[in-house]
Chains A and B, each alone.
Chain A
Amino acid sequence: MPRRPTAFVSFFVLIGILTLLPLFRPPAYFLSFLFKVLLFVILAESWNLIGGFTGYLSFGHVAFFGIGTYTAAMLFQQFGISPFVGAIPGGLVACVAAWVIGYPCLRLRGPYFAVVTLCFAFIMDLTVKNLAFLGGSEGIHLKLMQMEIQTSRSIFYEIFLFLALVTVLLARHVERSKFGMGLASIREDEDVAQTLCIHTAGLKLRAFTLSAFFPGVAGGIYAYYISYIHPDIVFDINMSILIVLMALFGGGGSWMGPLVGAAFLSVLNEFLSMFIKPEIARIIYGTMFMAVIIFMPDGVVAYAKKGRRSPSEAIGYGQGISGDVSV
């Protein structure tokens, strides 16, 4: 738990406010908006387990989200299992997929791993589009929840709030555990880590499999939320890229980075889209992201904590965070 009591108190106050929010009956739009923010928090924070902590950039994170969505949707359609329950097997199937992909592919480093995961996301998208029993390129329609929209939105919101909380706390726990130290050693220098008898292959595989669980579960619940599932929506490669950008915007390698990045960028996106065309909003967004990578290579959170470092120091993602790893 946080060392400073003020941080501890403000954390619980924030969670309390967010939990009790639906009681004040905010507009359904507002709940949907928060739902989306929380979705990105879950995705970016779970991506952080592999992408941030070990430095293995996975561009296929959306594939696990899609796998979860389709698993829960199929369980609902074929066997009538509620997606709230079906989300768990959704997460487990995503884990299995991550293990199968990760086992051979985690041997590849740097750009090669990024390409393989990008390929994986594309393959999943195209395969689902081509398989008739998964709805093909027509998608699947699910039965709507038989409830008033305000209530159903509140339920979805509460579930995602809980899931986001679990993901963030888990990432925080991992960062401070022996497991997290091992992952950090892979990020800093994998070869040295190996010579120090750290079983890097096993650690990477564990991190990758764990990171797939949460998008899988979130996907299952998302299936019920949107009730119409199409490969273009749930296997959207842009979403995969967005997850990476959000996490690195805040700063990969620490639990707080993706949380700040996902929350800030999705709020900004929504806010900008209200006033200007979404394309211009995304141009601003992309420009901002490039500025962050050039001037604050460790993300905004590390920048805010440490202040500006001289540009001659190693610029690059994941550098210089080692001092932050606390035991």
Chain B
Amino acid sequence: MLNAVVILQSIVSGLLMGGMFALLGVGFSLTWGVMKVINIAHAAFGILAAYIAYWALTLYKVDPVLSLVLSTPLLFATGLVIYRLLIQPITRAKDVVVASMILTFGLAIVIENFMLLVWSPDERLITTSYSSQAIFIGDIIIKVSSLIGFILSLLGIAAIYFFLHHTHTGKAVRATWQEPEGAALQGINLQRVSMITFALAIASAGAGGVTMAYMYSFNPPAHNLWLIFLFLVVILGGVGSVLGSAAAGLIIGLIIGLCGAFFPQQWINVLLFALLMVILLIKPQGLFRT
């Protein structure tokens, strides 16, 4: 029966889910905005981090939150290497956006098959000691694992926002995004800024992947589906905008939550993808264009 509690419940769980979309999408949005690089392998890195967390949990009983301390710097370093090896050579292309998209499709294939090789195509689920616990607020149920994922996402986005607005390097990143040539004239090393942005994006994808693993089961080919969600976040939130991505993530979560209350489960993704097509056709510059 549809009543206030059901709707409120779907709003709450939708918002919790939305935090994860926001964290997963914010890095994708940054590389697109700052470097004009669309990293198709972004979601694949998220799933890679989820697998690292899964491994740490099942083999060494390390909590996923703790394993983030290990996996985030690891992915940051991976991001630096990948930028040097793959992305830098194509930054001189006439159409970087399209060239990077094609290139990272290749990268996504490599990562996906690496994961298939190491972890097999089985669906995995992160089960912690608190997975089955929940908090009750009135009639509303909040799963502890979802809450942890949500808090992680908020922290991650806050950290990225702080970095971009209150550190010297972060300000350089924003300057590059607004006017690359002007930034270069002010003595900003564009390559270095791009490298940091890319590595940061990959690291945030990793954190996003772990928060995702708190709520969903995952397997290597799932990154193709996640990619659509990333595009949805970026196109809703505006390319390169951190707060826009956060808002877009929450909106998407809300839509998924509310649709879940009114439509059969299997049609939700169709609806979302159709929504993305419609948004692209009507307002391709995003709803929160800064």
Contact = CB atoms under 8 A, between A and B. Distances in A.
Interface of A: 55, 57, 104-105, 107-108, 110-112, 114-116, 118-120, 122-123, 126-127, 129-130, 237-238, 241, 244-245, 248, 277, 279-280, 282-283, 285-287, 289-290, 293-294, 297, 311-312, 314-319
A316 B99 contact: yes
Contacts of A280: 113, 117
Given A122-B273, A279-B116, A317-B95, A248 B281 contact: no
A311 B109 contact: no
B107 interface: yes
Contacts of B113: 279-280, 282-283, 286
A317 B284 contact: no
Interface in B223-267: 224-225, 227-228, 231, 235, 266-267
Contacts of B109: 241, 245, 282-283, 285-286, 289
A308 B267 CA distance: 50
Residue of B97, B102, B114, B224 contacting most chain A CB atoms (<10 Å): B102
A294 B90 contact: yes
Interface in B2-50: 38
B86 A290 contact: yes
Contact of A111 (B38, B108, B221, B267): B38
Contacts of A318: 95
6 contacts: A120-B277, A122-B273, A126-B269, A245-B105, A314-B92, A316-B93
Contact of A112 (B105, B266, B280): B280
A44 to B, nearest CB: 14
Given A118-B228, A317-B98, A294 B269 contact: no
Given A115-B231, A282-B109, A122 B102 contact: no
A248 B89 contact: no
B93 A314 contact: yes
Contacts of B90: 293-294, 297, 315-316
A1 to B, nearest CB: 33
A233 B231 CA distance: 25
Contacts of B227: 118
Nearest to A101: B277
Nearest to A118: B228
Contact of A286 (B98, B106, B266): B106
Contact of A316 (B95, B273, B276): B95
B125 interface: no
B188 interface: no
Contacts of A244: 102, 105
B246 to A, nearest CB: 21
B99 A293 contact: yes
Main secondary structure of the interface of B (DSSP, over half): helix
A286 to B, nearest CB: 4
A241 B109 CA distance: 10
Contact of A294 (B94, B103, B221, B270): B103
A311 B106 contact: no
Contacts of B97: 110-111
Given A129-B266, A283-B113, 11 more contacts: A105-B277, A110-B98, A112-B235, A122-B269, A241-B105, A279-B113, A279-B116, A285-B109, A286-B107, A316-B95, A316-B98
Contacts of A110: 95, 97-98
B183 to A, nearest CB: 22
B149 to A, nearest CB: 24
A283 B110 contact: yes
B101 interface: yes
Contacts of B270: 123, 126-127, 130
A104 B281 contact: yes
B114 A122 contact: no
A255 to B, nearest CB: 20
A109 to B, nearest CB: 9
B77 interface: no
Contacts of B221: 238
B116 A312 contact: no
A116 B113 CA distance: 25
A116 B277 contact: yes
B87 to A, nearest CB: 10
B96 interface: yes
Nearest to A242: B109
A57 B101 contact: yes
Contacts of B266: 126, 129-130
Given A311-B92, A316-B90, A248 B280 contact: no
Given A130-B270, A282-B113, A297-B93, A315 B99 contact: yes
B256 to A, nearest CB: 14
